[in-house]
């Protein structure tokens, strides 16, 4: 499967403010709720924001909020399953002769392409997470789950241990480091460029260069 053919509905959020009396049946309720939540998290802080306030800002009801999100944390972590499936799909469908870490690297590049249009949202999300220890813990759990899924996929391809776990751990570490470099305000480079550089740096470090 080509990287270009991979599309996942991670999230699309229109940068629009809605009047709170807008009808609950207006389109893209999920996007409106997500945007309202992010605005409030940025303005007031995550802990200080309630679900009721998010729904009101979006012009929707609390009941509608819970139709799309289990709790207010899920606004920041929605799309996790699709994100993981992207990695797993690319690794699973890599050519048989491709080295384990090269298959993981292909998944990293696929993820970078998917994230690029979402940089403003990713920047805001990162600021909210960095300000809240509980959210930081949730983010680490998400990454650990991704490591396990990639390692399991590599083992299913016949990769032995510890190679499967090392390739998965290294790949997710590269993603984490590259992502944090990509979202900083002063960065003007694409996620793809940063990912390529980060992978090259890891290989140089491993080679003792």
Could you list the pLDDT tens digit for every one of the 209 residues in the chain? Answer: 444 333 334 444 444 343 444 444 455 899 999 999 999 999 999 999 999 999 999 999 999 999 999 999 999 998 888 999 999 999 999 999 999 999 999 999 999 999 999 999 999 999 999 999 999 999 999 999 999 999 999 999 999 999 999 999 999 999 999 999 999 999 999 999 999 999 999 999 888 76
- 2 is written with which tokens? 């080509």
- Answering whether pTM is above 0.75, one says yes
**Could you say which of 1.10.1580.10, 3.20.20.70, 3.40.50.150, 1.10.357.10 is the CATH number of the domain covering 79-206?**
1.10.357.10
Question: Where do the structural domains in the chain lie, given as residue ranges?
Answer: 29-75, 79-206
Q: Residue 148, preceding bond cis, omega within 30 degrees?
A: no
Radius of gyration, CA atoms only, the chain:
19
Q: Residue 162, preceding bond cis, omega within 30 degrees?
A: yes
- Name the CATH topology of 29-75: Arc Repressor Mutant, subunit A (1.10.10)
Measuring CA to CA, which residue among 112, 18, 124 is closest to residue 75?
124
What's CA 76's distance to the chain center, in Å?
9
CA dihedral for 51, 57, 58, 63, sign (positive or negative)? positive
Spatial contact of 66 and 51, defined as CB atoms under 8 Å apart? yes
């Amino acid at each position: 499967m080509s990287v270009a053919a991979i599309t996942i509905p991670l999230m699309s959020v229109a940068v629009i403010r809605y009047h709170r009396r807008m009808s609950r049946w207006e389109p893209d309720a999920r996007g409106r709720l997500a945007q309202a939540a992010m605005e409030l998290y940025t303005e007031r802080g995550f802990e200080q924001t309630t679900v009721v306030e998010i729904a009101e800002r979006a012009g929707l009801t609390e009941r509608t909020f819970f139709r799309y999100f289990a709790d207010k944390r899920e606004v920041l972590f929605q799309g996790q399953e699709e994100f993981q499936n992207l990695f797993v799909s690319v690794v699973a469908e890599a050519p048989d002769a491709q080295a384990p870490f090269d298959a993981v690297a292909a998944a990293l590049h696929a993820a970078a392409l998917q994230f690029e249009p979402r940089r403003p949202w990713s920047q805001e999300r990162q600021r909210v997470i960095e300000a809240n220890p509980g959210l930081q813990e949730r983010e680490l759990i998400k990454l650990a789950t991704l490591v396990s899924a990639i390692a399991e996929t590599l083992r299913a391809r016949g990769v032995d241990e510890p190679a499967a776990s090392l390739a998965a751990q290294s790949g997710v570490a590269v993603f984490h480091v590259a992502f944090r470099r990509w979202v900083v305000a002063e960065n003007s480079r694409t996620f793809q460029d940063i990912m390529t550089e980060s992978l090259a740096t890891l290989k140089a470090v491993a080679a003792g260069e």
